[in-house]
Structures are given as structure tokens and as C-alpha cells.
A and B are shown apart, each in its own frame.
With several copies, the nearest count.
Chain A
Amino acid sequence: MDDKEIIARRVAQEIRPDTLVNLGIGLPSLVANHLPKEVHVFFQAENGVIGLGARPPEGMEDPDLTDAGGAFVTAVPGAASIDSAMSFGLIRGGHLDMTVLGGLQVDERGYLANWMIPGKMVPGMGGAMDLVAGAKQVIVAMVHTAKGRPKILKECTLPLTARRRVSLIVTEMAVIEPTEDGLVLRETGPGVSVDDILTATEASLIVHGDVPAMRL
């Protein structure tokens, strides 16, 4: 199982039935593949659909039905198409149960930076700031380190996405829950020890007794 699959599988376990979930582009979008068939969830694409479906068969694409990454999709029975005001009204109004987003950095306060690297990458925040400010639960899904350097830091050095403590950080090495007291290590990844995690993490982690391994 590669790192991305570990992360996607573990995040999928967090999704409750009958909720509204927004998956970011890239790694987070893989989470949908690992949802048990019996768990019914509506996925939102912030460009304007509730009830995002699978990719259409070749030749059956509709140019007017894409996900937020611009890829052709379908919609499930019971879907709704909405404009951007409704889409972000849902996100900002607290109607979105969960968002899963990629991350560049997360810090001890649970603050996320994921939208720019000054001087290098200025793509714009898109919907990320609204999602982090507005979703009931924010899950950061990212690999634990970048080129061997920790991404979970004492304090983010990159511009923040929001001043809001995210709900959970899921990497291939660990599940970490930001709390009022700091970052609590909840689970270890496959073949990874608590010490491995501490070494790969700049932020202080709170470790309570034996930390269970992810069950994937």
C-alpha cells in the first residue's frame, strides 16, 4: 500500500453516513474510492454540484458537468446543481459536515497553511479559506514530510489558510488530533513507531500511553 492509499483509506474511516463532504483536489479526492458501499454520503464539488458521481463512460461526458478540478463527472440520483452563492453559502454557513484538504504545513495550534509559497507558488486560495473557516470538520490529508523535512511544525512559516484549529491530521505515519492542549498523537501508521513519528515531526506531540496502530 503506498503512502497516498494509506492516507485515503484512513480518512475514509472518518466519514459518517448521510453527511455532506467536500474533497479537495489531488490526494483528498482519492478518499471517495475507499468508502464502504453501505455508507451513503453526498459529495459536494464546490463548483456547483451536491451528489458528485463517478467518472462517466467514455463518450458520455457532459461538458457542463465537471468537478472542481475540471474533470468530467456524473451526478448521483438525488443530486442538486447549485450556483456559487449557494455552494459557498453551504460551506460558509456551517452546512458542510466535512472537508478533506491537502496541506503544506500544520502547526501546534492546529493552523493550516496550504495555499501559497511566497515567491514560488501563488495559485490563489480558491475555496480553501472558505472551507477551513466554514466546514464543521476539517481533515488535513497529507504526506508527513516533504523531501525529508517536517510539515508539522511548531509554527507555520507559510501564510495561513485560516485562524482555525483543524479537526484532524492524517498522514501515512500518523493520525494527529489538534486540541486545546496541543497536538495529540492518536494512531501510528503501518510499520512506524512513535519515535519515528516524533523524529519526523517538528511540533511537540502529546503521547498518551500506548498509541494504537491504524487499522486499514
Chain B
Amino acid sequence: MKHALKTQDAADLIPDGATLLVGGFMGVGSPHRLIDAIVAKGARNLTIVANDTAMPGRGIGKLVSAGCVSKIIASHIGLNPETQQKMISGEIDVELVPQGTLVERIRAAGVGLGGILTPTGIGTLVEDGKQKITVDGKEYLLETPIHGDFALLAAYRADYVGNLEYSLTAHNFNPIMALAGKTVIAEPHSIVPVGMISPDSVKTPGILVDHLLERAA
């Protein structure tokens, strides 16, 4: 059983310089209250692993605008011109990863794989510096795991064990990142007593979740 944390107390767990896996796709399914609290406390030098950086003023975009971020590993930054400017100016180091490879690299970290072989990126710039391995006559890139010090998740509903349900396209990277953060903090819309969620509806088992944020006001 976990007591729900105040948002600010959760944000205070995260030190400058940490690597954060942050759920969300263009801000949908991102832990918005937690992001606001991280901005408010003036975090610095964070590495953000996420699908994208949303747009200025929204979700992960707020972390970028506030100068909290020194490195980003993402599949897409095209809708956030600030991220692109900070990349060009050298303020933020950006590593671009194909979306499917990104989610598999995070999953690999979460389930204890040393890497995965994928055809995505073969014959492209994504090859650079990577080992190529041939299996059954076909060439693959060896892609290595991406671990996070923290995983920051948005969820639809939780119980006080930490079991999580997600809603519609707000699943995205959240269930996978839940596996790959050393410390996992989940921000649910609502929290119900233990036993109220059917075992078959649980998408992230509570034993993966270290901290639960209080429910949305």
C-alpha cells in the first residue's frame, strides 16, 4: 500500500541531472501536474527520454522552455520550434531515435534484455556508430537499452497498491516506461481503494510503481 504524495513532494524526489522517462505523445498522456512542479522547483540539467517534446507551453515543452533540460532522446521534435532552436544553439543535445526503436529500447531496459535487433534504420543515418548483425541472411541494427533514473507516468486510474489503468491514446509510452525507471512515479486522474480494479484491467502492476501522486483536484 502506498500513500499518495503531494505533487511538490514527488517533484522534490528528482535531483538535477537525472534521466527521466516521461510518458506522453504530443502532451496526451503526459504527467502534467508533475511537469509543472518540476518546472516550479527550477530543475536543471535533466535528460528527457520521451516520444516528443510536445509544443511550447504544453507538457514536456514546458520543461524545455524553462531551461530544465540538457539532453533529449526522442523520435520527433518537429512541432516544438524551441527544442529545435536549443538544439541548433547547442543548449540541448538531441538524439533522434525511430519511434518503434525508442519504445523497444526502453522495453529492453525494463525486461532485462541486453539489446534488440531491428531492421528499422538500416541504410539510414540511424546506422551511425551501431553494430550490424546478420541473422538468417538479413541485416539488423543492434539497438541497446535505455534506462531511466525515474519514469514519470500519467494514468487514468490507480489503486493504492499502485496498479494502473490507462485511457485510449493516453497509453502510449506509459506502460513501457513503467518497466524501465529505477524509481517510478505515477500521476493518476483518480485513485480507488484496493480491490476496485479487476486484475484483468490492470496494465501496470502496482509492484512497478514506487510513488503515486494524489488524485487530480
Contacts and interface: CB of A to CB of B under 8 A. Distances in A.
Chains A and B belong together in one complex:
yes
Interface of A: 18, 20, 40, 42, 45-51, 62-70, 75, 77-86, 88-95, 111, 121-130, 133-134, 159-164
Given A77-B195, A133-B112, 11 more contacts: A48-B170, A64-B156, A64-B170, A78-B163, A85-B103, A89-B107, A93-B179, A122-B96, A126-B99, A162-B121, A163-B123
A47 B122 contact: no
A47 B172 CA distance: 6
B179 A95 contact: yes
B48 interface: no
B: interface residue count bin: 35 or more
Contacts of A78: 159-161, 163, 194-195, 206
Contacts of A123: 76-79, 84
A47 B179 contact: no
B112 A93 contact: yes
B118 interface: yes
A122 B29 contact: no
Instruction: Kindly name the residue among A47, A68, A123 whose own CB sees the greatest number of chain B CB atoms within 10 A.
Output: A47
Contact of A162 (B52, B104, B120, B160): B120
27 contacts: A46-B99, A47-B25, A47-B26, A48-B171, A49-B169, A64-B29, A66-B26, A66-B28, A68-B25, A78-B160, A78-B161, A78-B194, A79-B199, A83-B173, A84-B99, A89-B111, A89-B112, A93-B111, A95-B207, A123-B84, A124-B75, A125-B126, A126-B52, A128-B98, A130-B120, A133-B112, A162-B123
B169 A50 contact: no
Contacts, number: 200
B49 interface: no
Contacts of B207: 20, 42, 50, 90, 95
Interface in B72-119: 74-79, 84, 87, 96, 98-101, 103-104, 107, 109-113, 118-119
A59 to B, nearest CB: 18
B81 to A, nearest CB: 10
B93 to A, nearest CB: 13
Contacts of B156: 64
A122 B84 contact: yes
Contacts of A66: 25-26, 28, 169
B112 A92 contact: yes
A92 B169 contact: no
Contacts of A81: 166-169, 171, 199-200, 202
A82 B167 CA distance: 9
- Which 8 pairs between the two chains have the least Cβ-Cβ distance? A123-B78, A163-B123, A88-B100, A77-B195, A130-B100, A89-B111, A92-B112, A80-B202
B1 interface: yes
B98 A127 contact: yes
A94 B169 contact: no
Nearest to B161: A78
A171 to B, nearest CB: 23
Contact of B122 (A65, A121, A163): A163
B144 interface: no
Contacts of A63: 28
B56 interface: no
B124 interface: yes
Interface string B126-144: 1000000000000000000
B205 interface: yes
Nearest to B101: A130
Contacts of A159: 124-125
B210 to A, nearest CB: 11
B99 A130 contact: yes
